[in-house]
Structure formats: structure tokens, C-alpha cells
Amino acid sequence: MPNIEIILGDITRQAVDAIVNAANCSLLGGGGVDGAIHRAAGPELLAECRTLHGCETGKAKITKGYRLPAKYVIHTPGPVWHGGGYGEEELLRSCYRSCLELAAENGCETVDFPSISTGVYHFPLEKAAPIAVGTIAAFLREHPEIRRVRMVCFDGRTKAFYDRALEELR
Ligand code: AR6
């Protein structure tokens, strides 16, 4: 069984090879987990992000972690939820896959994700959680070089959705 864990915590405090940032297409910072990651990493992160010239929804780009305990930050703009008829589910799947591809290419063995798109982008948690754990599990089966992936949930309600999705996978 792929090594996926669901924890309650602050992703900016995790000493892993890569943390994922639920960014926007500018990659120039914002609120939520994006703001927290930029604050914790320091201004060098924004300076590197400026050299990346943004990112499309569903794709991902990687930077160093600077003052974070994590070695790398993988930035991915998730889809804004517009009701489900605009390819939102496939775009969210693509976020998780793109981040894991970059992690594997950069030799990351441990990767932590936040709950992409379920904050200000309003993707329903009951749909986002099974997409996240299903996509991660499928990737890990093909890429055993990634040893462990965690979903780092910021509140108990979010964690409950991911716990259930993982249980239903097993
Ligand atoms: N650690 C882990 N999870 C966190 C943290 C943290 N420190 N802080 C918040 N979360 P959101 P989105 C959770 O809104 O929906 C930004 O402005 C939060 O509780 O951060 O993808 C970007 O620049 C929620 O469960 O991301 C974009 O413009 C989850 O992270 C936009 O928000 C995602 O919430 C992206 O929206």
C-alpha cells in the first residue's frame, strides 16, 4: 500500500524534502497557505518566484525553500471552483500529479501537500479529498522512489475529509 499519511499541522514547519504551495498563477504570493509559506521562507522566495514568470493552473514549478525547514517548495495554482463544469476535477488531479513529477525529478523522497483549492478557491472538500489521495496513491505505485507523502491539514474538519478518503481507498 502506498505510504500516504494525513496529519493536522502547519505545513511551513515541516522538515521534508518538498512542501507544496497552493499558489495562484502569478506565483507572486497571496493569502492562506501561500502567504504563510512566503512569510516563513523570507523574501528570497519571492525573488526566485519572480524569475519563473507565473504558472498555469494544474501545472507546477519548483524553488528552493530558503528559511523553511523544507528543502524545496513546489508551487501549483489549483483551479477555482466554478460549479464543476469547467474541468475543475481534472485540473486538481493535474496539480497533484505535476507536483509529484517535479518532486521525483528533483530526488525528493518526502513530500507534504496542503489541501489545494479548498480554501478561498472553494473546491468542495468531499470532492477534493478523494481526488487528492487517489492521484497520490496512483503516482506512488509507479514511483517507489518517493517514500512518503503527507496531507498536512490546517483544521480538523479538513483532516476528517482526507482521513475518510484514505480509508475508502484501502
Ligand atoms: N499549513 C497548512 N495548511 C494551511 C496553512 C498552513 N500554514 N494555512 C492555510 N492552510 P488556501 P486555495 C490551508 O485558501 O484554496 C492564496 O491567496 C487552508 O486552511 O490557502 O488553493 C493563493 O495565492 C485550506 O485548507 O488555498 C491563491 O490566490 C488550504 O490550506 C489562493 O489563495 C488551502 O487554502 C489559492 O486558494
Nearest CA to ligand 1 atom 21: 117
Nearest CA to ligand 1 atom 8: 33
Ligand 1 mutation target, pool 19, 24, 154, most atoms within 8 A of CB: 154
Annotated catalytic residue 17: no
DSSP alpha helix (H) spans, 16-110: 32-41, 43-50, 88-105
Instruction: Tell me the pLDDT tens digit for each residue of 56-92.
Output: 999 999 999 999 999 999 999 999 999 999 999 999 9
- Ligand 1 atom closest to 123 (CA): 15
Percent of the chain having pLDDT more than 90?
98
Residues lining ligand 1, CB < 6 A? 10-12, 22-24, 30-34, 36, 78, 114-121, 152, 154-155, 158
Instruction: Tell me the pLDDT tens digit for each residue of 16-70.
Output: 999 999 999 999 999 999 999 999 999 999 999 999 999 999 999 999 999 999 9
Residue 89 grid coordinates? 476535477
CA of 124 to the centre of ligand 1 (A): 14
CA–centroid distance for 46 within its chain: 18
- The confidence score (pLDDT) of residue 2 equals 77
- The confidence score (pLDDT) of residue 1 equals 65
- Ligand 1 atom closest to 11 (CA): 1
Pairing of strands 18-23, 61-64: unpaired
CA distances from 165 to 62, 103, 115 (A): 27, 23, 13
Selected catalytic residue, list 10, 17, 34, 112: 34
CA of 3 to the centre of ligand 1 (A): 24
Q: Are 40 and 46 in contact (CB under 8 A)?
A: no
* Among 17, 133, 123, residue whose Cα is nearest residue 78: 123
